[in-house]
Amino acid sequence: MTTTHDLANVSTSSTTPVHPLEPLTPEEIARAVAIVRAERQLSDQFRFPAVVLKEPPKSVILSYQPGSSVEREAFLILLDNATGATYEAIASLTSNTVTSWQHIPGVQPNIMPDELSECEAAVKANPEFQAAIAKRNIPLESVVVDPWAIGHFGLPGEDGIRLSRCLCYVRTTPSSNFYSRPIDGLVPVVDLNKMQVLQIEDMGVVPVPPEPGEYAAEFVSPMRMDIKPLEITQPQGPSFEVDGHHVRWQKWQFRIGFTPREGLVLHTIGYEDQGKLRPILYRASLAEMVVPYGDPRSQHFRKNAFDVGEHGVGVLTNSLRYGCDCLGEIRYFDAAMTDSRGEVAIIENAICMHEEDFGVLWKHTDWRLESVEVRRSRRLVVSFFCTVDNYEYGFFWYFYQDGTIQYEVKLTGILLCGALGDVPKYGTLVAPQVNALNHQHFFSLRLDFDIDGGNNSVYEVNTEAEPLGADNPYGNAFFATSTLFKTELEAQRIIDPLAGRYWKVVNPSVQNRLGQPVSYKIIPGDNILPFAHPESPILKRAGFMTKHLWVTPYAEDERFSAGDYPNQHPGGEGLPKWTQANRSIENTDVVVWYTFGHHHIPRPEDYPVMPAACSGFVLKPVGFFDANPALDVPPSESKHSSCH
């Protein structure tokens, strides 16, 4: 992060209104912090876990006309280290006043990056920890302390204290991969408000795995020498147009947003069809992400990470100034936020947008005419990467010329490993004395659909075989059945690939030229359910993982699948709580929550760094268009031949 690079050129002048969904500029963020500090007379003990745009009501956005003035507001979460109290505030950037200040009792905000570094320093300065390290004959300067959220297990002495439970590792050299050499049996517990070590859990000396497990280029030799250059060029520039954070590309339009918690957020997604912009999604975001590990032993049972709610994938986003995350003609967007002390921090090149060739879009050969019609597919990619401790996650939205939207997560980075004490029942031996722990990743997407307007319904579609009989004498017939969900409880569903199950979001009031209601369908990809016991602490806290589909009526304050403050929370919040009311979801403004899980039983080939694995889902139009919307994509031309 840096404090000197400016965000996209967005005016904050009162004489030049900006779109109400434009992210806060660095100047607006600084002003919001200053307003709250001055009006509430805050001490230097306050931290700022979040300073973000307070999005105007949906009705205001949908009725907004360019040039209109809409009040600019910032939403802030504050933590008082002196008292442990959490507050939420709203600061008006139009009137320069605090319009709301509320104490939120009994919660813990997300753990901030500054706290991680301060926690590591506090642990390494602790005499008891130093003695434990000396007992293991490990130089203190080679030790790395990795603070984790402690979770909630109903254990005494943990409620009301902001805690971290730290994992420890050894670097072989100053630039080595420390995750390959865990110091098992040694766990410091830290009060993050006081930055004091409360306890050193010393379960006995466990040998540190001997190999460094290096992956960086400086340690790998020889490199492959037979890779020829592959260059992507667009001499006339990209096909997209950008105005602030508004994007137009191949009939698509949407707005880019970003928060420290969710990372990339997409707003007001629509497709231009027959001279008008047709809405599809009002807001799409990653609402929660949970990584439960499957080892019950004392060193490992607490390893259940809520990467969105306990940390924030936005604040942990990589600057794409480094490496080759994106190729081609790229448009980058910076992300502005604060550090924990309220100072403006900029992640340069946080979001990457570019076009990709994606093979054949459609093709047909008429052999009688010796005629071939083929079109190349191009897709628009909007993405960001974050690093959450050992893991890297790439979050990708793809837009296609035929009206398809795809969401994909690319999982890479380094396995979370323990030292091997015995046969690894709950993991895999991936290197000498290195046990890579079994785990899963669950991603919950909040999809606020507006298919051709606000009132939508959701159906489940399954395919059935026609029984053998007079109507099916040869036994070949099958058909699709659609079932309407009328209430929230009816819409709590899991995938069934053997039934070809998908779900479609329908506007019953708008029909295509064939008289069919317009809709989009959700096509599941890689998915699974959790293996945790129904009464386990993790399923009490992340109950949304038990279903792949949830549907709720739109509510402005229902934003996160596991609740607003999952850090150290006992559970029961979010989707399981909201849907107990069993509200109507028929022909109304609905929000679809889709959860997909990636199952990871590690393999030696995942070590020392993992080849990327992919997981996600697809949104496809079903009767939304009158015919194939990509008929007008022109044949591609190359320097040597014409494709048609």
**Is residue 379 pLDDT above 50, yes or no?**
yes
**Is residue 6 pLDDT above 70, yes or no?**
no
**Out of 215-219, 229-233, 600-604, least confident range:** 229-233
The per-residue pLDDT for range 456-481, each reduced to its tens digit, is: 999 999 999 999 999 999 999 999 99
**Is the distance from CB of 633 to CB of 533 less than 8 angstroms?**
no
Q: What is the pLDDT of residue 639?
A: 60
Place of tokens 């434990």: 132
Catalytic choice (295, 307, 334, 448): 307
Concerning whether 632 is annotated as a catalytic residue, the answer is: no
Concerning whether 607 is annotated as a catalytic residue, the answer is: no
Catalytic choice (169, 391, 407, 502): 391
Q: Sign (positive/negative) of CA torsion 493, 495, 500, 504?
A: positive
Percent above pLDDT 90 for the chain: 93
**Is residue 15 pLDDT above 60, yes or no?**
no
Structure tokens at 597: 């899980």
- Give the Cα separation of 11 and 29 in Å (integer): 13
Q: What is the pLDDT of residue 643?
A: 52
Q: Sign (positive/negative) of CA torsion 336, 341, 342, 343?
A: negative
**Is residue 14 pLDDT above 60, yes or no?**
no
Q: What is the pLDDT of the chain when averaged over all its residues?
A: 95
Burial class of residue 642 in the structure, from the number of CB atoms within 10 Å of its CB (0-12 exposed, 13-18 middle, 19+ buried)? exposed
Burial class of residue 446 in the structure, from the number of CB atoms within 10 Å of its CB (0-12 exposed, 13-18 middle, 19+ buried)? buried
Q: What is the pLDDT of residue 13?
A: 38
**Is residue 4 pLDDT above 50, yes or no?**
no
**Is residue 11 pLDDT above 50, yes or no?**
no
**Is residue 392 pLDDT above 50, yes or no?**
yes
**Is residue 12 pLDDT above 50, yes or no?**
no
What's the rounded mean pLDDT across residues 412-426? 90
What's the rounded mean pLDDT across residues 108-117? 97
> 268 pLDDT band (50/70/90 cuts)?
very high
Kindly report whether the global pTM for this prediction surpasses the value 0.75. Answer: yes
**Is residue 346 pLDDT above 50, yes or no?**
yes
The per-residue pLDDT for range 64-90, each reduced to its tens digit, is: 999 999 999 999 999 999 999 999 999
Burial class of residue 204 in the structure, from the number of CB atoms within 10 Å of its CB (0-12 exposed, 13-18 middle, 19+ buried)? exposed
What's the rounded mean pLDDT across residues 84-103? 98
**Is residue 368 pLDDT above 60, yes or no?**
yes
**Is residue 316 pLDDT above 50, yes or no?**
yes
DSSP, res 637: B
- Give the Cα separation of 388 and 111 in Å (integer): 12
Phi-psi region at 424: left, alpha or beta (left = phi > 0; alpha = psi -120 to 50): beta
**Is the distance from CB of 212 to CB of 203 less than 8 angstroms?**
no
Percent above pLDDT 70 for the chain: 96
Label the pairing between strands 86-92 and 276-292.
Answer: unpaired
Provide the residue type at 619 as one letter: L
> 9 pLDDT band (50/70/90 cuts)?
very low
- Give the Cα separation of 360 and 456 in Å (integer): 33
**Is the distance from CB of 622 to CB of 521 less than 8 angstroms?**
yes
Q: What is the DSSP string of 409-445?
A: EEEEE---EEE--S--TTEEEEETTEEEEPEEEEEEE
Q: What is the pLDDT of residue 627?
A: 98
What's the rounded mean pLDDT across residues 189-202? 98
**Is residue 338 pLDDT above 60, yes or no?**
yes
> 641 pLDDT band (50/70/90 cuts)?
low
- Give the Cα separation of 17 and 94 in Å (integer): 11
**Is the distance from CB of 331 to CB of 106 less than 8 angstroms?**
no
Q: In this predicted model, which residue has the larger pLDDT, 9 or 341?
A: 341
The per-residue pLDDT for range 511-545, each reduced to its tens digit, is: 999 999 999 999 999 999 999 999 999 999 999 99
